[in-house]
Each structure stands twice: as structure tokens, then as C-alpha cells.
A and B are shown apart, each in its own frame.
Chain A
């Protein structure tokens, strides 16, 4: 079974994001794994203010079959989006559908100057023309496996791989 060192990858993500961040750029983490990462990056990179949290729920393309499974997650953007450079953070980049939904969500708040994406793991399998500006790891996983990030009480990150039935 595949072993991924989430903490080790986080250190690489931090270095990668540092390179992507312009002076006035803001971090926006995708609910929920990406939001944990953005929160930690925000502190480690000593960014001013608060990081944003964004949810794909209201723009998902599988609403018709999945509905609001588990309710609607909150988007909280404590800054203006209009004219802003945005760095989106997520844990796993897969089909690209979440990112498509999140970009639509972002546009409900204004027109950003630019949007970049940085992720911990790019697992391949894209179904849309979306790429990350930075990925701490690029791997190939079969579609029968689900890769998810977990955070324990001490804030330590770990990856789990699960076989889908």
C-alpha cells in the first residue's frame, strides 16, 4: 500500500507556496483539508489578517445526484476578492471538479486579479483542463482508491488510502 508522509509534503508545500505568494496575495483554503493547510501556511508564512475558507457545495456539478449531502459547508472570505491575487490551497487534486466549483464560488464575491492553485498531492485523473501551479507530490492512483487527508488533535497531518467498494 502506498505511503505518503503528509508532514514531509507539507514542508515542501510551504516552500512552494512561499514562491507563489506575491506581496498582496491572500491564501484561501478549500474546505476541509485545504482549509487546515491554509490556516497552517498562513501562520508559518506570517501572512497578515486571516486566511479565507471556501466551499464547493453551492456550485457542485453533482448536486442532482448527491444533493446537499451532509449540509452546506461555509465559505468565509474575510477580505475583498475584487482585484485580489488569490492562492487556492487544497489537499488532493483529482478530477478538477472541486476546483471548477470553487472558482465559480470565488467569482460570486468579485473578480480576482489572478487565481493560482497549490496542492499537497496531485493524484492524476483529471476530467477538466485544470492544473496546479505547485504540487508537493505527483502520483498516480487507480480510481478505485480514495485518498484523504486527516488531522489529529495535535494538528498533525496524515494521509489515508481507502479502497472504494
Chain B
């Protein structure tokens, strides 16, 4: 019997939706990164727009708020000449009791060509991809604790930009890993691209032990976790985690796992510091590091637009 096909790929192995980095062939990931570098140079043109999605409608469906991610998708779609419709679903239909699939059916009747979906429930973008018309493409812009594939891809782009070769790298992902869809997407991306040393660093309550099965080294000691690293990916500590029993306090967390210049000195001298934003200064990262010469946090934002352009134009050009 044939193995069940990855729902993101068509029969030719081409990407038609982006739902998760997990299970993507390395060639698909590499092609997105290569395409993104072409789009990065579109910013240098007199006309900062290309016509690939001209006449297409991209619907941003944010069932969970995220101004920044929504804005970067909007800019990316507009640079590809798409018409962009932003729906603040959290405040509209869903609150009137409409089901997710009814919302999608209605928007499809408005001739949507692409849905960019952010949802608090893991798997919501899969459900939409399974039920939408064959010509419609879906991009996961973050679902629950599951995946945030465009953030993962832009992180891979950033690492490749500064480090070139993945196969010699030590990468530490630090902080609240258990709740982080960014961490999960990054770890899948790093594995696919052949990073030999991936470390997950954080307190026992915030780092799942089963990461070891994915070939990840789990470290509960910050010094051990970042020593000799080429890349340090700091995660945002979500304030809401503080209320539970998972953490004593933000101050305690900073003392043990916050990235300070002293701790950063344990990594390689040319190590880069990344963060998906928004950053909490003095909680997971010291201002001196966030604004320091090793920080690539703002370039990540710039690369993010090019990577999202690459994702949208790649899937829009492939048929189901």
C-alpha cells in the first residue's frame, strides 16, 4: 500500500500548501530559501513589487491576534501584487457562532485564492486545507503549540545568511520550548537541513524530554547549553506562563536562562543571537545583547518578508 501523501505536496512532490516544516523534503526547503534571496533584492528596485500574484486574492485569517505576523504577510502579498483582505475573525463570525468550515466556505464563495491562517487550535490550517477548493492554497501562520513554519523558514534563512553551511553548526534553542510552535518548527528545519548539534535549553517544566527522540540534546543548564554554540535562538517567555506553577517568577527565569553578555561569551565569538519577537527585555534577553553586535533580530524581520513572498509564490504556482 502507498504511504499517505504529505497533504502539503501534490503528486509531483511540489509544495501546494505550507502547513508545517515537518516532513518536507530538503530540496523543497532549500528552494524556498533560494527563492527568498531573489525576493530580498526586490527591495532594492525602483518598483518594489513583482506581478506573480496579480489578480489573486489573499485572505489573512487571524483567529488569534498577531499584528506583526499579519503585517509581514500583508506586505509580502502586496509586494507580489496580490489583493489582500484582512479579516479580524476573532472579532467577527467566530464570535457569532459560525463554524470554521462555514467561514471558509463563505470566503471561498468570495473567490479567495489563498488563506493565511493563524489559529489557537493546533491543526486548524490542516482542516482548512483538506476542505477548501483544489485551486485554493493555505499557509499556516501559527497554529496552537504545533507549528509556525514561515517563522521556522525565516530562521533557517537567517542562519544560512550568516553561517552558510548547516552541516557544521551547533544551534541552541533557549527558553519556553514546550509551548513554542517556533521552537518546534525550528527544530524540524534544522534537522532537515542537516545541523548535527541541536540543543534545547530551559527549565525541566518548559523543555519536553521527548525531544531527545528527535536527536535534540536537552540541557537544563544554560552555560552547558550555549557553550560553543554558533547560533542561539531565544524564545519569548509568554507572560501567561508566569501565572501557573511552571515558573517561580520572571526575575528567577532571567537569572537562570536570560541571555546576558556574560552568558553569550560562552558561545563562539562569532555566534549570532536570534529571537522571533516581540522581545521581553530583562526577561529572556538583556538589552545589551538584544541591541548588541551579535544580534540579528531585526534582519530576521526583513528576511521574513522575503521568505513569506517565496512561500506564497511557490505554492501559488503549483497545482493541486
Contacts and interface: CB of A to CB of B under 8 A. Distances in A.
Task: Specify whether A and B are partners.
Answer: yes
Interface of A: 57-59, 63-69, 71-75, 81-82, 104, 107-110
A72 B35 contact: yes
Contacts of B317: 63-64, 66-69
B41 A75 contact: yes
Contact of B38 (A59, A63, A64, A74): A74
Nearest to B309: A72
Interface size class of B (residues with CB under 8 A): 20 to 34
B92 to A, nearest CB: 32
Given A108-B50, A109-B45, A72 B39 contact: yes
A67 B14 CA distance: 10
Interface in B283-305: none
A67 B320 CA distance: 12
Contacts of B170: none
B268 to A, nearest CB: 31
A28 to B, nearest CB: 15
B313 interface: yes
B313 to A, nearest CB: 6
Contacts of A59: 50-51
Contacts of B310: 72
Q: Is the interface of A mostly helix, strand, loop or mixed?
A: loop
B50 A71 contact: no
B50 A58 contact: yes
Contacts of B38: 57-58, 71-75
B35 to A, nearest CB: 5
Nearest to B49: A108
Contacts of B49: 108
Given A63-B317, A74-B41, A75-B41, A68 B35 contact: yes
B172 to A, nearest CB: 31
A107 B47 contact: yes
A71 B46 contact: no
B185 interface: no
B314 interface: yes
Contacts of B35: 68, 71-72
Contact of A63 (B31, B45, B52): B52
Contact of B51 (A58, A65, A109): A58
Nearest to B51: A59
B221 interface: no
Contact of B313 (A65, A68, A109): A68
Contact of B46 (A64, A75, A110): A110
B61 to A, nearest CB: 24
Interface string B37-57: 111011001110111100000
A67 B314 contact: yes
Contact of B314 (A66, A68, A107): A68
Contacts of A66: 317
B191 interface: no
Nearest to A73: B38
A25 B42 CA distance: 24
A147 to B, nearest CB: 26
Given A72-B34, A81-B46, 5 more contacts: A67-B316, A67-B317, A71-B31, A72-B39, A75-B38
Given A58-B52, A59-B51, A107-B47, A71 B34 contact: yes
